[in-house]
Amino acid sequence: MEDCIFCKIIKGEIPSEKIYENERVLAFLDIAPVNIGHTLVIPKEHYANIFETPEETLTEMLKVTKKVGIAIKTQMRADGVNININNDSAAGQIVFHSHIHIIPRLKDDGFSMWYGKRPYDDGEMSIVANKIIAGL
């Protein structure tokens, strides 16, 4: 896709700090990291989000995410690692090229993944579960 910043990174039109690369996937440092070492794993083919990404590509992305995630946790001396995929604007996706965030976390880094929680009303869990099951 012509205007996609990640496609431009893949083509070498925009510089990046590459962490890992193979024939299908590229991992590079995020230029606006949550924590130092925050890395993105992307497919080299353009897909807007996880729902458009073929399963074999997702499998390769996850293999790379595991490998790079272990290296990040070890080398950055992180206490933990968030692995995150945002899909569509409402979920926080900003760049519409499928990607996985690997974010090193420190015990007292002050970041929170869950800003608010909404409990289910009585009986609502079963209704929601049945809706989701119907879509499978």
pLDDT of residue 113: 73
pLDDT over threshold 90, residue 114: no
Q: If you average pLDDT over residues 99-125, what whole number do you get?
A: 88
Write the DSSP string, 67-82: HHHHHHHHHTT-SEEE
Using the predicted structure, report yes or no on whether residue 72 has a pLDDT greater than 90.
Answer: yes
Q: Which CATH architecture has domain 5-134?
A: 2-Layer Sandwich (3.30)
pLDDT tops 80 at residue 5: yes
Residue 59 predicted with pLDDT over 90: yes
Output the CA torsion sign for 14, 88, 83, 78.
positive
**Quick check: 14 and 4 in contact, CB under 8 A?**
no
Alpha carbon distance 54, 33 (integer Å): 27
Q: At residue 40, does pLDDT exceed 90?
A: yes
Mean pLDDT for all residues in the chain: 94
Q: What is the pLDDT of residues 75-84, one digit of tens each?
A: 999 999 999 9
Domain regions of the chain by residue span: 5-134
Q: What residues act catalytically?
A: 99
pLDDT band at 61 (very low <50, low <70, confident <90, very high): very high
The pTM of the whole model exceeds 0.85: yes
For the chain, the maximum distance between any two Cα atoms, rounded to a whole number of angstroms, is: 54
Q: pLDDT over 70 for what percent of the chain?
A: 98
Whether the pLDDT of residue 116 is over 80: the answer is no
> What per-residue confidence (pLDDT) applies to 78?
96
Direct distance between the N- and C-terminal alpha carbons of the chain, in angstroms, rounded to an integer = 30
Q: How many Cβ atoms sit within 10 Å of the Cβ of residue 83?
A: 14
